[in-house]
């Protein structure tokens, strides 16, 4: 409702609320952050945003150059007109269902701040489980050879290959790196590791490489533009102690029913897993076993119900058995959804 004084009146508590909140439309008002955040929450709620209060607080904290934990200390302050303008611009964008992480420009992932940009898949909290599984495996795999074995034969430059060969520790491959969050978290948490990461998307690889530089991990991860494992020739065999991926796994027919934040902003090739969602997953299961060293881990993030689907697929289970892979129980995410499919390469660890 617009009033004669040029202000807009809305109920801060939604249609059932009995208080009204006045938001100045132009700059120079005397609105406090507390009122603004409350109004913004309601506006986001009406726009169908899943966590309106959280998002409003994150945007306010972002504009104020603080973090959400410290925001309560500033909520009583009157808004500066420039900051108010910036805040309401971001709230309007969020109400149009642009993802919060895109507006903030980064996302927290396993304690790292990973920058995101348009055209690159936004890291999700459930993918932290994939990293947890990998890190736990690499830390407990006590019998890794001292120097981590020879570096995989890849399209790496001769200088890069020599650099990676000198490093000690396990070799890890991530397929479909996107922002680089998984590869970078593993490199960060296993300081001795040598990590290779592939993607077909040039935008993703640029984003991942710039994240690596910003996080001081540029010398630790090699990014390669490649279709799945195609950067690693026949002679690369058995070079990796872990192969990880969060591949596209949404069935094509479900793409249009995803939340607008996902369907309109994440790149289709990061999501589209083909008719049953498992097209890329099956290709990885076919290609990865030859790259794993004895005791090596294959870990893939999957959608709800897909781990059971794979385990019920005789052809896949048979192939994994024939290639020396032992299937382990999938690992659930925090919501209890079996999220990470795991298989170990059998054989003595050299």
* Cβ nearer to ligand SAM, comparing 41 with 127: 127
List 56, 116, 187, 204, residue binding ligand SAM (CB under 6 A):
204
CB-nearer residue toward ligand SAM: 274 or 294? 274
Q: Please identify which residue in 128, 199, 261, 333 interacts with ligand SAM, judged by CB under 6 A.
A: 199
Closest CA to 149 of 141, 137, 158: 141
Number of residues that bind ligand SAM (CB under 6 A): 23
For residues 45 and 228, which CB has a smaller minimum distance to ligand SAM in the complex? 228
Minimum Å gap between C-beta 101 and ligand SAM is 11
Tell the residue number behind the tokens 């991990």, with chain if given.
217
Q: Which two tokens stand for residue 270?
A: 């990061």
57 binds ligand SAM (CB under 6 A): no
Structural contact between residues 59 and 40, judged by C-beta atoms closer than 8 angstroms: yes
Give the one residue of 148, 149, 152, 176 binding ligand SAM; rule: CB under 6 A: 176
Which residue among 101, 102, 127, 238 contacts ligand SAM (CB under 6 A)?
A: 127
Nearby residues of 323 by Cβ (< 8 Å), 6 or more positions away: 289, 290
Closest distance of CB 67 from ligand SAM, Å: 22
**DSSP secondary structure letter of residue 78:** B
Q: Which is nearer to ligand SAM, 38 or 177 (CB)?
A: 177
Cβ neighbours of residue 293 closer than 8 Å, sequence gap 6 or more: 149, 171, 238, 239, 240, 241, 345, 349, 350
196: nearest Cα among 154, 149, 142, 168: 154
DSSP class of 16: T
Indicate the DSSP class of residue 250. B
| Two tokens, residue 195 | 């990590």
Q: Is residue 196 close enough to count as binding ligand SAM by CB under 6 A?
A: no
Quick note: the x/- pattern for ligand SAM over 229-258, rule CB under 6 A, is: -----------------xxx----------
Which ranges constitute the DSSP H helices of the chain? 33-46, 52-64, 81-95, 100-104, 127-140, 158-166, 181-189, 202-214, 260-263, 268-271, 279-287, 306-311, 314-322
Under the criterion CB under 6 A, does residue 228 sit at the interface with ligand SAM?
Answer: yes
- Comparing CB distances to ligand SAM, the nearer of 79 and 302 is 302
CA 219 to CA 29: how far, in whole Å? 50
Stretch that binds ligand SAM, among 33-41, 48-56, 119-127, 234-242 (CB under 6 A): 119-127
Residue (175 or 278) nearer to ligand SAM, CB: 175
Residues 277-296 that bind ligand SAM (CB under 6 A): 280
Considering only residues 33, 42, 88, 121, which one is a binding residue for ligand SAM as defined by CB under 6 A?
121
Chain center to CA of 219: 21
Q: Which residues bind to ligand SAM, rule: CB under 6 A?
A: 121, 123, 127, 175-179, 181-182, 198-201, 204, 227-228, 246-248, 269-270, 280
């Amino acid at each position: 409702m617009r009033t004669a004084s040029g202000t807009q009146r809305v109920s801060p508590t939604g249609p059932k609320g009995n208080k009204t909140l006045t938001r100045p439309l132009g700059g120079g008002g005397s609105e406090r952050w507390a009122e603004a955040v409350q109004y913004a929450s309601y506006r986001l709620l009406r726009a169908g945003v899943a966590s309106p209060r959280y998002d409003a607080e994150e945007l306010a904290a972002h504009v104020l150059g603080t973090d959400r934990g410290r925001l309560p200390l500033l909520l009583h302050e009157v808004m500066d007109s420039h900051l108010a303008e910036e805040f309401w611009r971001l709230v309007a964008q969020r109400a149009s269902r642009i993802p919060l992480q895109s507006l903030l420009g980064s996302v927290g992932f396993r304690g790292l701040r990973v920058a995101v940009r348009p055209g690159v898949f936004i890291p999700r909290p459930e993918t932290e489980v994939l990293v947890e599984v990998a890190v736990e495996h690499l830390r407990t795999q006590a019998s890794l050879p001292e120097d981590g074995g020879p570096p995989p034969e890849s399209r790496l430059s001769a200088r890069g290959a020599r650099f990676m060969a000198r490093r000690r520790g396990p070799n890890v491959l991530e397929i479909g790196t996107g922002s680089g969050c998984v590869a970078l978290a593993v490199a960060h948490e296993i300081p001795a590791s040598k990590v290779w990461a592939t993607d077909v998307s040039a935008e993703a690889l640029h984003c991942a490489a710039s994240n690596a530089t910003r996080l001081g991990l540029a010398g630790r991860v090699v990014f390669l533009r490649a279709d799945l494992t195609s950067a690693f020739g026949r002679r690369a065999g058995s070079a990796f102690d872990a192969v990880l991926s969060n591949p596209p796994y949404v069935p094509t027919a479900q793409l249009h029913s995803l939340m607008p934040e996902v369907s309109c902003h994440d790149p289709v090739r990061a999501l589209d897993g083909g008719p049953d969602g498992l097209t890329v997953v099956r290709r990885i299961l076919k290609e990865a076993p030859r790259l794993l060293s004895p005791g090596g881990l294959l870990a893939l993030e999957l959608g709800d119900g897909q781990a059971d689907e794979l385990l019920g697929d005789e052809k896949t289970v048979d192939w994994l058995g024939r290639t020396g892979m032992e299937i382990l129980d999938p690992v659930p995410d925090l919501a209890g959804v079996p999220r990470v499919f795991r298989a170990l390469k059998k054989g003595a660890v050299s």
